[in-house]
Amino acid sequence: MVNYLLNQLVFLFQRLDWVDVLDILLVTAIFYILLMLVRETHAMVLMRGVVFFAIVLMLVTSLVSLPAFSWLVSAVLPALVLTVPVIFAPEIRRVLERLGRAGNGVMFWQKPRTKTEVLMEIIQTLVTSAARLSVHQYGALIILQGNDSLEEYAGTGVRLDAKPTPELLLQIFYPNTPLHDGAVIISDTCRVMAASCVMPLSSSGVLNRSPERQMGLRHRAALGSSEASDSLALVVSEETGDISVAQGGRLIHGLSRERLENILMAFYRTSDLEPATNDFFSRIFSGRRKDERRDRS
């Protein structure tokens, strides 16, 4: 049996020429484009059902001699082909629209985004969200995952696996909504892992020894998260609307939009290099401590 299959493959390859190869590549490209267009749609589920049904029919009719059943299949299949445009009408219309846009110079397949583009998008989302939360004085705690896993804390909340947007974050932290208490965790893939998560509270007493000692549980949870992992915690105060950031057990508050953006860019650029991140925040907080000493004097 194996020798027979090998002989058949050798026979087929011997008869192939460049026209046959081009023909196969064109058919493969068409099927690939069609699959890319219908992926993550209801059409994909229907196609799986159709393919499974076709495979079962082929196996039944080829392994067992069933003349009546084979006649029924051969009579019904042409009619089923006519139902395809009806079943896949929305998907076909969507594909034709995208092909029409491609004719105007817009590619109907999307080029994969680079990691830099993804990071810039999440940074702008976080900065915009923090600014809007600050204006409305909605208390918020957003934990950005670094190299350390936050799966343990994500398990204490409600799983979302959603793309972060300002609208989503504002809705989560809107007062008295089911998810507004606790933290939102954003994974290292820039997805919202979970909301309403319980984070560890800081026990170092940093807030009690600093001008920020009046701050509440969100800031203690932000410090605790930064002490337990290499994550960065973004906090918006419910009382004052101030924007704060905690990293490495240190807290900096009263951030402007521009300064927050710079900190987030530095964090994502150096999230794979922990010493560089710590050096960056050491410079920030050492400068801040000098300013505080100067103010006291």
Residues 67 and 152 in one domain: no
The number of residues making up the chain comes to 297
User: Which one of 103, 138, 164 terminates a domain?
Assistant: 103
Residue 287's pLDDT is what?
A: 47
Percent share of the chain, pLDDT over 70: 73
Among the listed residues 147, 143, 241, the one whose alpha carbon sits nearest the alpha carbon of residue 192: 143
**Within a domain: residue 273?**
yes
**Within a domain: residue 138?**
yes
Residues 157 and 95 in one domain: no
If one counts every other C-beta atom within 10 angstroms of the C-beta of residue 91, the result is 18
Among the listed residues 139, 169, 176, 285, the one whose alpha carbon sits nearest the alpha carbon of residue 226: 285
**Within a domain: residue 191?**
yes
Residues 125 and 176 in one domain: yes
| Whether pLDDT at 197 is above 90 | yes
State the CATH number of the domain containing residue 211.
3.40.1700.10
CB 215 within 8 A of CB 241: no
Residues 167 and 273 in one domain: yes
Residue 105's pLDDT is what?
A: 47
Two structure tokens written together for 86: 């009806």
Residues 59 and 199 in one domain: no
CB 269 within 8 A of CB 183: no
Of 28-37, 77-86, 148-157, 230-239, the one with minimum mean pLDDT is 77-86
Match 């029919």 to its residue by tokens.
57
Residues 149 and 53 in one domain: no
Query: How many domains is the chain partitioned into structurally?
Result: 2
Q: Residue 161: phi, psi to the nearest 5?
A: 50, 60
Q: How much is the pTM?
A: 0.58
Residues 145 and 69 in one domain: no
Encoded amino acid at 287, one letter: G
Q: How far apart are CA 13 and CA 253, in angstroms?
A: 70
Supply the range of the domain harboring residue 218: 115-296
**Within a domain: residue 161?**
yes
**Within a domain: residue 1?**
no
Torsion of Cα atoms, 205 then 238 then 175 then 221, to 10°:
-20
pLDDT single digits (tens) 181-192: 899 999 988 899
If you ran DSSP here, which 8-state letter would residue 161 be given?
E
Residues 121 and 82 in one domain: no
Q: How far apart are CA 118 and CA 126, in angstroms?
A: 12
Q: How far is CA 178 from CA 4, 130, 136, 158, 219, in A?
A: 66, 20, 18, 10, 20
**Within a domain: residue 194?**
yes
pLDDT single digits (tens) 129-181: 999 999 999 999 999 998 888 999 999 999 998 999 999 999 999 998 999 88
User: Which one of 62, 81, 103 terminates a domain?
Assistant: 103
